């Protein structure tokens, strides 16, 4: 670091210390007085707030005494006459008295009468539970002695509560109970206190009162502009419960801060001027002469002329140093001439080799490079010489090998050339042939580099290609897919076939030798079709196509195959070969036939079911409707339940077989989707049977404690993705319900909602306990139901749909009524429909 810079730093640090010391003294002796006066002023203002709040309590207490020491009240607490209530205890009375509640408690601590009102809306309100709990508590301060006053915390906020014994108008007893007044400690009360204090107030409950004292006023700065004062209020038991806080502008503090800042600026200006004067004197006598000497020394060998010297006036240490430097320069000029001649000879040798060379010391720092090194690595001489080492050039994995050869060279051993990975200026990797040799009578080394990257890359590509071909051939032969290449000639002679052709009983040599042509293994009934398709695809110019056909194995068996073929052309575009893979899909074909067979059988059962239901329906309409439904339901259940179970079992086995089979994944997904459709149809037929049985059988409800949320989460899984489901109920809610009845009813109503919204919409389900009833609503945003249809909606066999029996809503109504409940419907065309279920709960 330069002397001038050090001097400036010392001056700077000294100035900072002086300014810091001055600042501390100002804070200690000036600002502390301002802060103390500010805190005193805040406490006085908060005492005004405390007085204003006490006045609120005193005003309420005066009104309380007027009402509690009154003969009419003294009589009412005993006979509870209605005239007193009607005359004195209306909502307008509480509003006029600015009260939120009145509670009359007799000498047995029983609430004789209580009334609460919302002063903002004028509507009747509920008495807070926390107050009722306090009244019921033994030895409550509200109901002992001459009464009390304080705060309680309710759900709606803090409330001022006062109590007084109920006496005669002359103040004599004995007391017949207590009258309790309540007024919320709300914004209105705070604003009245603000008008007296003159600043904004906030009130918030105290969570931890262990460290607070009752009535204590605390002062705490908020920021540079405001300071807060806090006043603690107590509950009925004398414990801190509420803090009232005011924010007061810090006018006195800001005045003190301004004065302190002005003092600090004054002293700082004085210190800076003093330091500038001292520095100017030093610069004139020392620094300027020292700078002149430094500039001359730096320019020696750069811009100065040979033989140029410096002369400083004076007779001091700097003048003596100047004379010594001039003498040293004379000796350096002689040595420089000799060195330049030696370097010229070495450079001619170094640059003329035609190889990338670098001269390095024993620490592997690069001292010198030639032009070929610059071209190979992309560095310039200025970027390399004396600035980087070979650790930045050689790959870190090959660097230990490089160091080993370097050590051998320094020890005088013979070093052979070796391969190593290097990186150029831009991080690009190269393979080089590296050789190391020593410079005689020195610890320096000459390292040469020859780029062999293209050779190494070619070697690696050949190895990778051979490995890939071996791996690909192994995969093909282990897979069920058989690879083929046949010529575009009559009969399709085979040039190549993979070894796994043996799965069909053939050997590859049978085809490659020309003994068997590919067309000869295609089933005769499919050959003409396959040939025509190949010609058509080729004519259209397709580069690839797929076919399915049968082949004949060497043993005479018939197998279905999937053929994926690509066209191979010569350089002039002439078609030469067909190449591709064939895959045995016989099991898949068998599975498709089975699905088709079972689908036809399922369709037959479905038609039979519809015919049977239609036949039974006609019988029901001819007889006494609901009386005959029971007999028909038994017959339908007996006739259809067993076939439906058989069909479901067959479908289960078929689904399991498809999952285990190995064939085209896309086709497997398509088959599984069809099986799901069949399963839904079976479920729908079974639902019709259940609806008939539920409509006809006499049932009784068996309520248990049920969680509706878990049941509904299971049912809404059937809702399609284009319908948004909104659930509005407590996940932990329980109700006494027959789970079977609830499941059947909800399932029917959710299914109706889905059918009403084919293009998507919103399904909303809500449930809650209200007035001793479990109430559930299921709404959709479908097309709605016309008014003329609503009256017939719960009639058995009435339906406006193309599909269905019209039993779902009739069954739902009957099941809800069995439970002692009701089901109603509201609908508006174009907006949607809402079903409401009400089921009574145990008391």
For 405-447, write each residue's pLDDT tens digit. 888 888 888 888 888 899 888 888 888 988 888 887 787 888 8
Please report which helix (H) or strand (E) contains residue 168, including its range.
none
Structure confidence at residue 455 (pLDDT) = 80
Model confidence at 619: pLDDT above 80: no
- The dihedral over CA atoms of 587, 590, 596, 597, expressed in degrees to the nearest 10, equals -130
What are the two backbone dihedrals, phi and then psi, of residue 520, each rounded to the nearest 5 degrees?
Answer: -75, -20
Same CATH topology for 354-458 and 590-695?
no
Between 673 and 76, residue with greater pLDDT: 76
What's the topology of domain 354-458? Beta-Lactamase (3.30.450)
Q: Over range 814-836, report the average pLDDT.
A: 90
Structure confidence at residue 242 (pLDDT) = 86
Between 564 and 38, residue with greater pLDDT: 564
- CB proximity list for 660: less than 8 A, separation 6 or greater: none
Please report which helix (H) or strand (E) contains residue 75, including its range.
helix 71-79
Model confidence at 96: pLDDT above 80: yes
Structure confidence at residue 574 (pLDDT) = 86
For 179-200, write each residue's pLDDT tens digit. 999 999 988 888 888 887 777 7
Is the bond into 591 cis (omega within 30 degrees of 0)?
no
Between 319 and 762, residue with greater pLDDT: 762
Model confidence at 469: pLDDT above 80: no
Q: Over range 263-291, report the average pLDDT.
A: 77
Cβ–Cβ < 8 Å for 697, 633: yes
Q: How confident is the model at residue 222 (pLDDT cuts 50, 70, 90)?
A: confident
The SS3 assignment for 237 reads: coil
Q: Which of 242, 241, 153, 249 lies closest to 200, judged by CA?
A: 249
Least confident piece of the model among 5-19, 48-62, 497-511, 719-733: 5-19
Q: Which of 479, 472, 509 lies closest to 494, judged by CA?
A: 509
Q: Over range 440-466, report the average pLDDT.
A: 79
For 1-53, write each residue's pLDDT tens digit. 677 677 778 878 888 887 888 778 777 766 676 677 777 777 877 778 888 88
Model confidence at 732: pLDDT above 70: yes
Question: CATH assignment of 699-840, given 3.30.70.260, 3.40.50.720, 3.40.1190.20, 3.30.565.10?
Answer: 3.30.565.10
Highest mean pLDDT out of 49-53, 319-323, 681-685:
49-53
The Cβ of residue 711 has, within 10 Å, a number of other Cβ atoms equal to 15
- The domain limits of the chain are 307-351, 354-458, 482-584, 590-695, 699-840
Model confidence at 347: pLDDT above 90: no
Would the pTM count as exceeding 0.75? no
Cβ–Cβ < 8 Å for 654, 635: no
Least confident piece of the model among 23-32, 311-320, 381-390, 540-549: 311-320
Cβ–Cβ < 8 Å for 355, 448: yes
Please report which helix (H) or strand (E) contains residue 551, including its range.
strand 544-552
Q: How confident is the model at residue 622 (pLDDT cuts 50, 70, 90)?
A: very low
Structure confidence at residue 807 (pLDDT) = 66
**d(Cα 501, Cα 551) in Å, to the nearest integer?**
12
**d(Cα 229, Cα 250) in Å, to the nearest integer?**
12
**d(Cα 462, Cα 466) in Å, to the nearest integer?**
6
The SS3 assignment for 460 reads: helix
Q: How confident is the model at residue 343 (pLDDT cuts 50, 70, 90)?
A: low
Structure confidence at residue 126 (pLDDT) = 92
For 359-379, write each residue's pLDDT tens digit. 888 888 888 888 888 888 889
Q: How confident is the model at residue 337 (pLDDT cuts 50, 70, 90)?
A: low
Q: Own/partner pairs for 829-832, CB < 8 Å, 24+ apart?
A: 829/783, 829/784, 829/785, 829/786, 830/783, 830/784, 831/781, 831/784, 832/756, 832/761, 832/779, 832/780, 832/781, 832/782, 832/784
Model confidence at 307: pLDDT above 70: no
Structure confidence at residue 381 (pLDDT) = 86
Does the structural domain 590-695 have CATH classification 1.20.1630? Answer: no
Structure confidence at residue 698 (pLDDT) = 62
Please report which helix (H) or strand (E) contains residue 200, including its range.
strand 200-205
Q: Over range 788-804, report the average pLDDT.
A: 70
Structure confidence at residue 468 (pLDDT) = 62
Return the DSSP state at 169.
Answer: T
Highest mean pLDDT out of 23-32, 135-144, 546-555:
546-555
**d(Cα 748, Cα 458) in Å, to the nearest integer?**
72
| Token pair for 549 | 């056909």
The Cβ of residue 138 has, within 10 Å, a number of other Cβ atoms equal to 7
Q: How confident is the model at residue 71 (pLDDT cuts 50, 70, 90)?
A: very high
**DSSP assignment of 736-763:** EE-HHHHHHHHHHHHHHHHHH-TT-EEE
What's the topology of domain 482-584? Beta-Lactamase (3.30.450)
Q: How confident is the model at residue 693 (pLDDT cuts 50, 70, 90)?
A: low
Q: What is the mean pLDDT of the chain?
A: 81
- CB proximity list for 220: less than 8 A, separation 6 or greater: 227, 228, 230
Structure confidence at residue 139 (pLDDT) = 84
CA angle (443 as vertex; 439, 449 as ends), nearest 5: 55
Model confidence at 696: pLDDT above 70: no
Q: How confident is the model at residue 549 (pLDDT cuts 50, 70, 90)?
A: very high
Structure confidence at residue 63 (pLDDT) = 93
Please report which helix (H) or strand (E) contains residue 466, including its range.
helix 453-478
Structure confidence at residue 809 (pLDDT) = 81
Between 297 and 148, residue with greater pLDDT: 148
């Amino acid at each position: 670091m330069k002397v001038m810079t050090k001097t400036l730093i010392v001056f700077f640090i000294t100035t900072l210390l002086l300014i810091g010391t001055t600042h501390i003294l100002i804070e200690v002796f000036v600002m502390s007085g301002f802060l103390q006066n500010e805190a005193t002023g805040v406490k006085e203002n908060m005492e005004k707030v405390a007085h204003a709040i006490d006045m609120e309590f005193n005003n309420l207490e005066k009104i309380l005494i007027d009402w509690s020491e009154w003969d009419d009240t003294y009589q009412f607490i005993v006979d509870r006459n209605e005239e007193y209530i009607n005359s004195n205890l209306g909502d307008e009375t509480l509003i006029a008295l600015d009260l939120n509640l009145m509670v009359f408690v007799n000498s047995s601590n029983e609430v004789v009468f209580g009334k609460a009102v919302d002063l903002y809306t004028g509507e009747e309100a509920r008495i807070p539970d926390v107050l009722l709990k306090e009244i019921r508590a033994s030895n409550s301060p509200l109901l002992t002695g001459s009464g009390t006053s304080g705060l309680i915390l309710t759900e709606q906020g803090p409330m001022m509560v006062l109590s007084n014994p109920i006496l005669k108008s002359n103040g004599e007893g004995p007391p017949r109970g207590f009258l309790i007044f309540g007024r919320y400690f709300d914004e209105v009360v705070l604003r009245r206190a603000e008008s007296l204090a003159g600043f904004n107030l906030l009130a918030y409950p105290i969570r931890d009162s262990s460290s607070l004292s009752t009535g204590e006023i605390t002062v705490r700065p908020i920021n540079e502009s405001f300071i807060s004062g806090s006043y603690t209020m107590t509950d009925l038991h004398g414990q801190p419960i509420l803090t009232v806080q005011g924010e007061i502008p810090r006018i006195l503090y800001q005045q003190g801060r301004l004065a302190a800042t002005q003092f600090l600026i004054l002293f700082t200006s004085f210190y800076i001027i003093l330091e500038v004067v001292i520095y100017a004197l030093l610069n004139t006598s020392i620094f300027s002469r020292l700078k002149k000497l430094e500039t001359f020394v730096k320019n020696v060998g750069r811009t100065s002329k040979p033989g140029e010297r410096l002369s400083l006036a004076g007779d001091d240490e700097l003048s003596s140093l100047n004379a010594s430097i001039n003498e040293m320069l004379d000796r350096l000029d002689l040595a420089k001439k000799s060195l330049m001649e030696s370097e010229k000879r070495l450079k001619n040798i170094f640059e003329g080799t035609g190889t990338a060379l670098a001269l390095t010391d024993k620490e592997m720092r690069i001292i010198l490079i030639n032009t070929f090194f610059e071209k190979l690595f992309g560095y310039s001489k200025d970027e390399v010489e004396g600035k980087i080492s070979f650790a930045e050039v050689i790959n870190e994995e090959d660097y230990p090998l490089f160091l080993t050869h370097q050590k051998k060279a320094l020890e005088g051993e013979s070093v052979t050339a070796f391969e190593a990975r290097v990186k150029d200026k831009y991080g690009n990797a190269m393979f080089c042939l590296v050789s190391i040799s020593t410079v005689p009578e020195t610890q320096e080394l000459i390292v040469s580099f020859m780029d062999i990257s293209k050779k190494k890359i070619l070697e690696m590509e050949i190895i990778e290609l051979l490995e890939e071909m071996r791996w690909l051939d192994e995969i093909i032969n282990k897979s069920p897919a058989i690879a083929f290449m046949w010529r575009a000639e009559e009969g399709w002679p085979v040039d190549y076939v993979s070894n796994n052709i043996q799965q069909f009983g053939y050997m590859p040599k049978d085809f490659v030798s020309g003994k068997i042509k590919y067309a000869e293994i295609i089933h005769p009934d499919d050959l003409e079709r396959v040939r025509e398709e190949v010609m058509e695809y080729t004519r259209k110019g397709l580069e690839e196509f797929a076919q399915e056909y049968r082949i004949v194995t060497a043993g005479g068996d018939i197998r279905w195959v999937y053929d994926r073929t690509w066209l191979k052309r010569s350089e002039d575009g002439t078609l030469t070969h067909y190449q591709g893979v064939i895959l045995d899909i016989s099991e898949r074909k068998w599975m498709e036939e089975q699905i088709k067979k079972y689908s036809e059988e399922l369709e037959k059962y479905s038609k039979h079911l519809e015919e049977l239901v239609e036949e039974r329906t006609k019988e029901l309409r001819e007889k006494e409707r609901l009386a005959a439904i029971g007999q028909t339901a038994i017959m339908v259940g007996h006739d259809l339940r067993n076939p439906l179970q058989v069909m479901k079992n067959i479908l289960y086995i078929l689904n399991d077989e498809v999952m285990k089979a190995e064939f085209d994944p896309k086709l497997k997904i398509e088959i599984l989707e069809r099986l799901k459709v069949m399963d839904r149809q079976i479920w729908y037929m079974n639902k019709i049977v259940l609806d008939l049985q539920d409509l006809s059988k006499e049932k009784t409800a068996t309520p248990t404690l049920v969680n509706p949320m878990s049941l509904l989460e299971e049912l809404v899984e059937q809702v399609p993705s284009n319908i948004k489901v909104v659930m509005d109920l407590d996940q932990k809610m329980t109700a006494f319900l027959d789970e079977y009845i609830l499941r059947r009813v909800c399932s029917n109503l959710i299914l109706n909602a889905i059918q009403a919204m084919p293009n998507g919409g919103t399904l909303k389900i809500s449930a809650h306990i209200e007035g001793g009833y479990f109430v559930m609503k299921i709404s959709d945003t479908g097309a709605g139901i016309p008014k003329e249809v609503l009256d017939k909606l719960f009639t058995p066999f009435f339906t406006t749909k193309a599909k269905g029996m019209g039993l779902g809503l009739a069954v739902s109504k009957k099941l809800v009524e069995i439970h002692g409940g009701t089901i109603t419907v509201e609908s508006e065309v174009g907006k949607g429909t809402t079903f409401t279920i009400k089921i009574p709960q145990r008391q």
